């Protein structure tokens, strides 16, 4: 699967993610470690390139509450102190205005607006918007997403044929994890050729959990086809990321994805589940052979994040 630098933003969309794409319940993901279940997830990742989770009723309620807080926050005028006091700095946490996202593909301008948070915010950092209930509801969403991600990492390890705790014990510090609350406003101006919601890329961490409230997300499957992604709080999409691909030497391939500009207001809740900073990621011995040599050089999560962000910033056009 091509990485971010190899994806072609101009590739057309050719279909939709239909009901045949694997969707597992949160309960099964949490409890089921049968060989049959593991095989289902492995097949989805190897033949499609992603799978979906059906959250339980309590999780759907938490998502709905988080969406409500996002709608409150992003409806505030950009000059309002409640946004300005949490504007992003070098830490990349807090509010990111529209059109300031790095351009993952040359010649693109992303229209998203974001509120980014990490473990510092969850553990007590004061960079939260002054909106009643925002911190409590978003923190609850972080916890539920994190639990689902840990469950997914266990199943993915078994699907890769390695110890169940391999990924989870190497992604448990949360130091480089982040959650993005994304707002894609409806754009009534004519769409520019370079305009995108967000340009084509693969995520830089181990796995990503993503919910979207309206259409716009497009996923690249193993065959290289771009497909419309599912919508609604009955689906959380699990994307495979760069570190997972590196560890498995391409046995699992990172999921290419992008967001198109639309005329419909759209919100997305995304969690990036990262590798612990002290871990060096390189292909595991069981995925290396004479016919399949190691295709990736050793790298830490922080090094990879910095390299990919620097690459994007080199061709970012800021407004």
Mean pLDDT of 206-229: 96
Instruction: Report the pLDDT value the prediction gives residue 124, as an integer from 0 to 100.
Output: 84
Q: Which band of pLDDT confidence, cut at 50, 70 and 90, is reported for residue 1? A: low
Residue 59 has pLDDT above 70, yes or no: yes
Which residue, 223, 240, 91, 83, is CA-closest to 155?
Answer: 240
CATH class of 4-314: mainly beta
Q: Are 226 and 175 in contact (CB under 8 A)?
A: no
Instruction: Report the pLDDT value the prediction gives residue 31, as an integer from 0 to 100.
Output: 97
Which residue, 136, 134, 163, 164, is CA-closest to 152?
Answer: 164
> How far is residue 290's CA from residue 123's CA, in Å, rounded to a whole number?
47
DSSP string, 148-172: HHHHHHHHHHHHTTS-TTHHHHTS-
Classify residue 174 as exposed, middle or buried by CB count within 10 Å of its CB (0-12, 13-18, 19+): middle
Which residue, 148, 150, 147, 123, is CA-closest to 135?
Answer: 123
Angle between helices 134-159 and 35-47 (to 10 degrees): 100
The string of pLDDT tens digits covering residues 240-292 is 999 999 999 999 999 999 999 888 899 999 999 999 999 999 999 999 999 99
- For residue 232, count other CB atoms closer than 10 A to its CB: 11
Residue 38 has pLDDT above 70, yes or no: yes
Domain boundaries defined on the chain = 4-314
Q: How far is CA 265 from the centre of its chain?
A: 19
| Three-class DSSP category at 133 | coil
Angle between helices 57-74 and 134-159 (to 10 degrees): 130
pTM, entire model: 0.95
Q: Which band of pLDDT confidence, cut at 50, 70 and 90, is reported for residue 318? A: very low
Question: Which tokens is 105 given?
Answer: 């593909």
Mean pLDDT of 192-209: 91
Mean pLDDT of 212-236: 91
Mean pLDDT of 82-110: 91
Mean pLDDT of 93-119: 93
Q: Which band of pLDDT confidence, cut at 50, 70 and 90, is reported for residue 128? A: very high
Alpha helices by DSSP H, listed for the chain, are: 26-31, 35-47, 57-74, 81-84, 119-122, 134-159, 166-169, 242-247, 301-314
> How far is residue 282's CA from residue 294's CA, in Å, rounded to a whole number?
8
Classify residue 266 as exposed, middle or buried by CB count within 10 Å of its CB (0-12, 13-18, 19+): buried
Instruction: Report the pLDDT value the prediction gives residue 191, as an integer from 0 to 100.
Output: 52
The better pLDDT of the pair 283, 185 is held by 283
In the sheet that holds 226-228, the strands lie side by side as 13-16, 226-228, 217-220, 257-259, 198-201
Question: Which tokens is 262 given?
Answer: 């639309």
The string of pLDDT tens digits covering residues 144-180 is 999 999 999 999 999 999 999 999 999 999 999 999 9
Q: Which band of pLDDT confidence, cut at 50, 70 and 90, is reported for residue 192? A: low
Mean pLDDT of 297-315: 93
Q: Are 200 and 12 in contact (CB under 8 A)?
A: no
Residue 92 has pLDDT above 90, yes or no: no
Instruction: Report the pLDDT value the prediction gives residue 193, as an integer from 0 to 100.
Output: 65
Instruction: Report the pLDDT value the prediction gives residue 125, as an integer from 0 to 100.
Output: 77
Which residue, 102, 280, 279, 119, is CA-closest to 199?
Answer: 102
Question: Which tokens is 209 given?
Answer: 């959990």
Q: What is the DSSP letter of 263?
A: S
**Averaged confidence pLDDT in the chain:** 93
């Amino acid at each position: 699967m091509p990485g971010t630098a190899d994806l072609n933003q101009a590739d057309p969309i050719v279909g939709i993610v239909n009901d045949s794409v694997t969707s597992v319940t949160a309960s099964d993901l949490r409890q089921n470690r049968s060989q049959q279940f593991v095989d289902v997830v492995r097949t989805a990742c190897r033949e499609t390139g992603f799978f979906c989770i059906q959250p339980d009723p309590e999780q759907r309620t938490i998502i709905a509450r988080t969406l409500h807080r996002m709608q409150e926050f992003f409806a505030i005028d950009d000059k309002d102190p409640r946004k300005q006091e949490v504007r992003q700095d070098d830490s990349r946490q807090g509010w990111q205005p529209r059109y300031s996202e790095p351009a993952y593909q040359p010649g693109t301008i992303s229209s998203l607006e974001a509120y980014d948070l990490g473990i510092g915010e969850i553990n007590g950092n004061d960079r939260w918007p002054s909106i009643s209930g925002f911190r409590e509801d978003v923190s609850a969403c972080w916890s539920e997403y994190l639990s689902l991600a840990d469950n997914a990492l266990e199943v993915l390890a078994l699907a890769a044929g390695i110890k169940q705790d391999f990924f989870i014990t190497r992604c448990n510090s949360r130091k480089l994890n982040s959650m993005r609350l994304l707002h894609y406003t409806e754009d009534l101006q004519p769409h520019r050729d370079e305009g995108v919601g967000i340009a084509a890329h693969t995520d830089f961490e181990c796995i990503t959990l993503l919910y979207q409230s309206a259409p716009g997300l497009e996923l690249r499957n193993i065959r290289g086809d771009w497909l419309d992604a599912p919508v609604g709080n009955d689906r959380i999409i699990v994307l495979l990321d760069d570190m997972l691909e590196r560890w498995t030497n391409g046995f699992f391939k990172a999921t290419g994805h992008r967001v198109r500009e639309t005329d419909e207001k759209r919100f997305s809740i995304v969690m990036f589940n990262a590798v612990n900073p002290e871990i060096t990621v390189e292909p595991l011995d069981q995925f290396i052979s004479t016919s399949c040599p190691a295709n990736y050089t050793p790298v830490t999560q922080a090094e990879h994040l910095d390299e990919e962000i620097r690459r994007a910033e080199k061709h970012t056009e800021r407004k």
